Amino acid sequence: MIMFIYYPKPNQMKISKHLLMLFLIQLFLVGCETDLSYLKKLEDPELVQANVKNLTDIIVYDIFSPPVASRVYLYPAIASYQTMQLANQENYASLSGQVNGLAPLPKPSSEKVNYNIASLHAFNEVGKALIFSEDKMTLFQENLDQDLKERGVPGSVLKASKKYGEVVADHILAWAKGDLYNQTRTYPKYTIQEEEYYWKPTPPDYMDGIEPHWKKIRTMALDSSNQFPPKPPLKFDLTKGSPFQIQLNEVFEIVNNITDEQLEIAKFWDCNPYVTHHRGHAMFATKKITPGGHWIGITSLVTRKAKSDFQATTNAYTNVSIALFDAFISCWDEKWNTLVVRPETLINKHYDEEWLPILQTPPFPEYTSGHSVISRAAAITLTDLFGDNFSFEDTTEIEYGLPVRSYGSFIEASEEAALSRLYGGIHYMMAIEEGVAQGEEVGQHVVKRIQTYIGYNKNLALK
């Protein structure tokens, strides 16, 4: 038997070693791709929490008005929810066909897309398009990418997921353009009316009225901005003993005889995004969360307490954002239709020209109370998600130097938020009571129309 032994030439040996090295590299990459241990790390709800907190911080920094801030929260939340829902269709329903004008998302072109990453990226991309400080969002996104890499996400998965997140963002932003926000930026300002009953700009800055055309913004769940109009405000009458005069005097007396508890409540729920302070010829301002931002903060607290998972946390923020958005539109419709004068204006003219409310009067008409409307709508939504007697400690205002307050339910918190406007000297009781009623109707409508849980299994929120 003759045996032939093949000895490769030196150059062929080099080629063989090169091919072997390529094979080993490919084998290593395939091994990395099939190591799916990183997936569990992507279920961390703190990724969602960090996204929302970053957006809140930017909203505070950029000083958005309360109605506009509700819009800045809304579209990123819906972008993240719709993306998350694609991978969880057995538990969550699409918002397409539920909120006004939203078409289904385009399908991803890559099988490597991780929907949690795409959801996070879509949230930030939409948010970046709605804020001013894009550099802050970009820095946050870079840090998030690094965090995801450290969690073991393969580069190809991260790339494909971010690419799809951008597709989602483009889809949501195209839809957002149809809400008339951009058009209302060009509409005329409110013209001051001479009659004493009508709203006038208030001290110290006498700012123009904020968002007089907000009722034209497209709603999400409401059929129209005036679907739930409150009772008409009391007839203007300064005669002593008239219903209107009694409520005006109530504001005057409460501020003059404010208790420590009432003062704490007023300050806790102030949530004025831009308060100016004047010292002689100097002026400085302080920034805080908006009223809607406070309820977004409460959502953060309760989802953590309930140990909500990634999906349930995303769902909670989305439902609350929708309720806040529609509540602001409903409230602003009434404000700019009735144009009720603020207590400060009448008290300074008829009672005491040096009188000041506890809180700085915000620059828009009085009736109804925005805090009362949006707080009740948000409370109804959170109650629907987490139950009637979900107690919590509200630590939202700690970073703004205010103490913790505790509540036995979301409704209890919303009632205190509403009353805070009387204690603060900026609303009549009629605006508070009818604002709560208006917010109740908005909130109940939202939770009936927006059904995000398949089978309406609320227990999913409490995982």
Q: In terms of C-beta density within 10 A (0-12 exposed, 13-18 middle, 19 or more buried), how is residue 30 classed?
A: exposed
Q: What pLDDT score was predicted for residue 3?
A: 45
Instruction: Identify residue 377 by its one-letter amino acid code.
Output: A
β-pairing, 274-279 with 282-287?
A: antiparallel
Q: What pLDDT score was predicted for residue 35?
A: 77
pLDDT exceeds 80 at position 443: yes
Q: Which residue has the tokens 């309820």?
A: 295
Beta-carbon contacts of residue 2 (< 8 Å; ≥ 6 apart): none
Instruction: Identify residue 172 by its one-letter amino acid code.
Output: I
Percentage of the chain beyond pLDDT 90 is: 86
Structure tokens at 268: 């806790």
Can you give the pTM of this predicted structure? Answer: 0.91
pLDDT exceeds 80 at position 166: yes
pLDDT in tens, 25-79: 554 554 555 678 999 999 999 999 999 999 999 999 999 999 999 999 999 999 9
Full DSSP string of 55-110: HHHHHHHHT--HHHHHHHHHHHHHHHHHHHHHT-TTTB--SBTTBTTPPPPPPPS-
pLDDT exceeds 90 at position 422: yes
Q: In angstroms, what is the C-alpha Rg of the chain?
A: 27
Of residues 306 and 8, the one with the higher pLDDT is 306
Q: What pLDDT score was predicted for residue 223?
A: 97
pLDDT in tens, 241-253: 999 999 999 999 9
Asked whether the beta carbons of 449 and 221 are under 8 A apart, the reply is yes
Average pLDDT, the chain: 92
Measured in degrees and rounded to the nearest 5, phi and psi for residue 344 equal: -55, -40
Closest CA to 124 of 110, 105, 139, 104: 139
pLDDT in tens, 301-317: 999 999 999 999 999 99
Q: How many CA atoms lie within 13 A of 335 on its CB side?
A: 31
The SS3 call for residue 268 is helix
Beta-carbon contacts of residue 141 (< 8 Å; ≥ 6 apart): 121, 124, 128
Rounded mean pLDDT, 134-147 = 98
Element (H, E) at 197: none
Full DSSP string of 210-228: S-TTGGGSPPSSSSSTTSS
pLDDT in tens, 193-236: 999 999 999 999 999 999 999 999 999 999 999 999 999 999 99
Asked whether the beta carbons of 80 and 161 are under 8 A apart, the reply is no
C-alpha 193/C-alpha 407 separation (Å) is 42
Closest CA to 192 of 180, 175, 209: 209
> pLDDT class for 274, splitting at 50, 70, 90?
confident
- The conformation of residue 453, written as its DSSP 8-state character, comes to B
Asked whether the beta carbons of 203 and 317 are under 8 A apart, the reply is no
The SS3 call for residue 27 is helix
pLDDT exceeds 80 at position 186: yes
Q: Which domains does the chain carry?
A: 42-181 (1.20.144), 197-462 (1.10.606.20)
Q: Which residue has the tokens 């090295």?
A: 21
Rounded mean pLDDT, 162-186 = 98
Instruction: Identify residue 462 by its one-letter amino acid code.
Output: L
